[in-house]
Amino acid sequence: MHLDDADPDTHRRVLRNVGNLLDALDDGSPVELVVHGPAIAAVLAGADTAGALQDLLGRGIGVAACQNTMDREGIRAGDLARGVHTVASGIAQLVLRQRQGWAYVRP
């Protein structure tokens, strides 16, 4: 899943979409949410989306935050919600996952 939108309503909608996807897939199916640009706000500790995000992390999804965005915005790894990991580039992560055969979804 790809999230790069600044709108908090979009953040909540995408997290609901991820939950719905998990409900529809076989148990153990890998799902990763890649967040970059202004959407980085959705994965910060204390964000309005924190509860929904922790629920999804507890269900086994991966959440990748773009280090390029974090550097540009002065965000440190410790500012992210617990369980969110970083990748050097959000866009590159999306390309790498597609090369590995993952489906690309931009809700």
Per-residue pLDDT of 34-74, as tens digits, reads 999 999 999 999 999 999 999 999 999 999 999 999 999 99
Distance from C-alpha of 21 to C-alpha of 24, rounded to nearest angstrom:
5
pLDDT at 61: 97
The structure tokens listed for 93 are: 């992560």
pLDDT tens for residues 1-30? 999 999 999 999 999 999 999 999 998 999
| Model confidence, pTM | 0.95
Show the DSSP H helices in 25-106 as ranges: 50-58, 67-73, 90-99
Domains of the chain: 2-99 (3.40.1260.10)
Any idea what DSSP says for residue 63? E
